[in-house]
Amino acid sequence: MIGGGSYAVGDKLPSVRSLHLEHGISISTALQVYTHLEKTGWVEAREKSGYFVRYSHNIRPALPPVSNPLPTACQVQVNEKLAMFRKTASAQKTISLIGASPETSLLPTAKLKRALQLCARELDTSYIPYGDISGYEPFRRHIAKHCLNWGRAVLPNEIIVTNGAIEAAVLCLRAVAKAGDTIAIESPTFFGLLLGIESLGMKALEIPTDPVTGISLDALEDAFKKKKVQACLFVTNYNNPLGSCMPDSRKEQLAKLLQQYQVPMIEDDVYGDLHFAPERPRTVKSYDEEGLVMYCSSWSKSIAAGLRIGWVIGGRYHERIAQLKFMTSAATGLLPQLVLTKFLDQQRLDLHLKSLRQQLNIQTMQMTRAIQEYFPADTQLTRPNGGISLWVVLPPKVNTWQLHEAAVAQGITFTPGSLFSSQDRYHNCIRLTNANPWDEDQEWAVQTLGRLSSEQLK
């Protein structure tokens, strides 16, 4: 009813007692309802007055439009900007709105510790010599089972374990393209992927991207027709920073396009497990009949980024990727794979993911509510249904590099939008992440960012 507008912001809600009496539910259930709505930012409790509507989907900031990058391939030059950003960001102790993976308190630390202790007790010397170049076999079996979640039966020997998903994606790029070649990407896209492209001397072609449904297939096909694209590198589920998730039917279409034009694609699915709705979205890989899709992922966003373990399912490029992996860093270290295997043996991953998703959903709603509350009136904001990023589009006059300097002076960091483009776009945008549990610091930080933005507009 709040979503539908029956209750407007500021309206008083029925008391717990009246919910109990009129709807035949227990007092405790009624309280739970309001506690949940409070946690998720829809209502607020006022002392001795009851519950009031705080936030409504109807008054969310408008969605940003589909992005509109130049239709030409560009040399990527993000590295220098990132170095500049790091210099500023690390200047002092700050409240971070840039966390790239969920804060440790949201992760299964006790179960991980247990896994590590089991390893320390049971392990003999198996982690000491060079391991299997493809990775530890029992670990690859766990990965293979997990792939069923997104709709494909994968065999352990189709998988190569890597030092995180970034190594996987860079190996895939090297497997199918060389310096000077053009890679199609989302616009905006994660600077880590842009850096990978930059480090290899490749060019990026930014494809118009809808903040809800992902890249424009028409624009992509157009680029394919002009034979401009050597390979694609897309984050199809809850990409960073837009949070868009390509509907499964469009994924199927994309897989067909790749086949029709015989273009390989790297699918980075590190956020796929972090869906807020009950259903896990599928992947383009699940529709890939000819092995053109190289699927990369990790559990860095849901178990432990510091273990630096990712993987790639390379399709028809498997052999080439395995060779490049050996030439680049030999086998991936065994110890973290053994610890993760022990963790996964406990079969608590699904339970953990369920609670993590709920928590990230709440944090996203809290941040959405705060942005609505504190940012200039015509701010646009994405509505991700998963993942960890929010993309804020401020009025065009705002320069978010300057905003960042002002924010750092207040002890706050966020990521300026221009880091997410090869075309020096998105100067009026910022990425915030929902990686931290909502608290007074976060509230204050978003409030301050809103105030600083408004000041820039004067």
Site residues, its own copies (CB under 8 A): 79, 83, 100-101, 104, 107, 109, 112-113, 116-117, 119-121, 123-131, 162-164, 166-167, 170, 174, 178-179, 192, 195-196, 198-199, 201, 300, 304-309, 323-324, 326-336, 339
| Secondary structure (DSSP) of 368-407 | HHHHHHHS-TT-EE---SBSSEEEEE--TT--HHHHHHHH
CB of 190 to its own copies, least distance (A): 12
H or E element in which residue 141 lies: helix 137-147
Q: Which is nearer to its own copies, 130 or 396 (CB)?
A: 130
Please choose, from the candidates 173, 171, 178, 174, the residue with its C-alpha nearest in 3D space to the C-alpha of residue 133. Answer: 171
Q: Which is nearer to its own copies, 120 or 377 (CB)?
A: 120
CA distance 308 to 291: 26
44: three-class secondary structure by DSSP: strand
Q: Which is nearer to its own copies, 110 or 377 (CB)?
A: 110
Burial of residue 377, with CB atoms counted within 10 A of its CB: 0-12 exposed, 13-18 middle, 19 or more buried: exposed
CB of 185 to its own copies, least distance (A): 15
CB of 338 to its own copies, least distance (A): 10
CB of 293 to its own copies, least distance (A): 22
Q: Which amino acid is at 178?
A: K
Q: Which is nearer to its own copies, 102 or 387 (CB)?
A: 102
Backbone angles phi, psi at 267, to 5 degrees: -110, 115
Q: Which is nearer to its own copies, 304 or 371 (CB)?
A: 304
Q: Which is nearer to its own copies, 76 or 219 (CB)?
A: 76
10 to 45, 346, 434: CA distances (angstroms): 11, 47, 26
CB of 145 to its own copies, least distance (A): 23
CB of 113 to its own copies, least distance (A): 7
CB of 335 to its own copies, least distance (A): 5
Sign of the dihedral defined by the CA atoms of residues 62, 65, 66, 67, in that order: negative
Q: Which is nearer to its own copies, 332 or 372 (CB)?
A: 332
442: its two tokens? 């976060």
Q: Which residues pair with 208 in a beta bridge?
A: 187
Burial 252-261 (b: 16+ CB within 10 A, else e): bbbbebbeee
CB of 126 to its own copies, least distance (A): 8
Q: Which is nearer to its own copies, 135 or 450 (CB)?
A: 135
CB of 103 to its own copies, least distance (A): 8
Q: Which is nearer to its own copies, 245 or 353 (CB)?
A: 353
- Cβ atoms of 447 and 366 within 8 Å: the answer is no
Sign of the dihedral defined by the CA atoms of residues 381, 436, 346, 307, in that order: positive
392 to 9, 199, 271, 379, 404: CA distances (angstroms): 22, 28, 19, 7, 14
